[in-house]
A and B are shown apart, each in its own frame.
Chain A
């Protein structure tokens, strides 16, 4: 009887641990392992597209889509791909999804596509996407890979939206186009130098938060 109860509780903790780790797969991308603020990956689109909160969010969601889909497909076909050609195969899968995003955005949100410009095709060489494919999707089940991709992607979108909001607020006194502050502002934050400086201070802040938490 006691053995059975022990067994039952053992199973329960196992299930619990599994759901817990699934949730963790999803949530780790936001603060603890945020791809931008902590892992420092994908710097080019982070700096290049965050002139406003909306642009940052658009870029983040496009990357999140590519990341989730490529993670899913790679974890599905991981056993069929020979080890030697795995990186080129991953790149082809990723590039296919980037092309899909490119065509969809060109058709339905042409204004945003124009704004983001070169950075949409450059999702292919975003280290986060290939990094997750190699480090996670090629070793884990489909479901946890999808959650990992979604979590990391949304964490990336979250980071870009934060940086975009800060830059838009300091540069033009607005967030998502809603004006809060009137008058002359620090235009430099919308331009190139402001991107580096704002990101530097945000990373210092996130380091502080992660250290105390």
Chain B
């Protein structure tokens, strides 16, 4: 039951992009086609779950026992950067097909604030390892969902006649705002 609450709240109620404003850069950057946004979503799902697991272990087995809590930011970003690099190398060797699909997005993920954000959030929320993994996965699913919906809208938007000054980024931001308005409907569903 508790896991169910975590999943629902991470995907809908406090959607990472539309209510927490994490990962807005890729949300605006790679959301012009549905196919690319699915690829990006897959890469984020993969990296976010792995990164959260690794940083959780680092926090509770390295930082806390030695009283190095203040090093959290430095350690986490290094772990994530190293992890992304490692995933890229391993994926290239083990599964070239998957690498073809996700490869382009991997370097972008190091600077995706959603990954570091979720890693820090799980520590702040004092989740245990299993809860952290579930939280990370459902957050990534929420991210992918927002991205795909937004890409779908933007594909249609391209064929619309938008006032000249609003073309491009401004209309995309206003659209995202309306999408966020829709997600506000979920507020209060959990707790």
Contact = CB atoms under 8 A, between A and B. Distances in A.
Nearest to A123: B73
Interface string A48-69: 1000000000000000000000
Interface stretch (A2-10, A25-33, A88-96, A152-160): A88-96
B24 A192 contact: no
Nearest to A87: B81
A193 B177 contact: yes
Interface residues of A, number: 40
Contacts of B71: 99
Q: Helix, strand, loop or mixed for chain A's interface? A: helix
B177 A200 contact: yes
A72 B176 CA distance: 37
A201 B74 contact: no
A102 B72 CA distance: 11
A195 B21 contact: yes
B181 A193 contact: yes
Contact of A191 (B20, B113, B184): B184
Interface string B16-33: 001111111100100000
Interface of A: 40-41, 43-45, 47-48, 87-88, 91-92, 95-96, 98-99, 102-103, 118, 121-122, 124-127, 130, 188, 191-197, 199-201, 203-204, 207-208
Interface of B: 18-25, 28, 70-74, 77-78, 81, 110-113, 116-117, 120-121, 124, 165-166, 169-174, 176-178, 180-181, 183-184
